[in-house]
Structure 1
């Protein structure tokens, strides 16, 4: 179940209400915005979910809003709602990374299905980012010496070889190795190598 909302950006209140009702009937949460400016004011990098964005609005257009979001490195999937004449622009937006577009009048079920897919994609992206951040924060807790020893462990070197290379006792290497595994939350060198691939 996706708990993140669909952000509905449209200057037509009737369309916003109809979309909100459609999503509610699917058990999905939504937040409505009467303009692109209003949405951009409330946008934050931590925002989750997806955006359903009308292509043509009074004031800032959906396309301009999308460009601003791209400049801000937003990762929210964007689904455009377009009039017939806007299809070439919508195709251009897809090439820039928009998730999809629907020509009005839209098929409610098709749109709701696509919104669910966009929400799922965003949830997966956020999980992957959280996993990478977690690994990086663990690495950041290592001392300079621990990082040095970790590199040698990853190179497949035994404790005795590491001790000789760094001119320290084998016992010291063992202590550092235990600390590294503890801080990185792994039990073996293989687990450590696999974990660091996640954070690459």
Structure 2
């Protein structure tokens, strides 16, 4: 039942919304993982980010695509909690910490089951089209499982289509640029620098597309 709720939500609501209201330019879609375990890491400016990323996958694969989200926000009330866990099938992270429990335990279990995780290393939504400093959670998640690949994804325009704190969706053409697969390095600083460089390269690709579209 839960699987069909997820498929129907994306088929009947999310995909028409993206096609007819937002519109996406997707670069290197072929780089998206076809199976897990895998982690997608993306910048974060809007609640649309998760929906857009999940919509890039075939409907038959949606059951294996699971966003990592803050429990204090997405489980704040019973209706939002029901939607988040039953429809989006999030992996809740308790940012306030649970004594005696690994913060990433559920993420490890999902990866062991072959899922594709969506993770936002900035931690929370920020100023539209502005990258915040990356947190090291992705490194700690994969440092003991360096064989699991991750793929950086840059989202441009969604933060202006539905910015933080706004409820009104503004029609706007947006970009999604998918980077090349990476693996966690033994050195945290080296890995984080590589991930930042990958995002910067994807930003330039989106900017080049925006410039090209004007001519």
Could you state the TM-score of these two structures normalised by the residue count of structure 1?
0.29
Pick the structure with greater CA Rg. 1
Structure number with higher strand proportion: 2
Structure number with higher helix proportion: 1
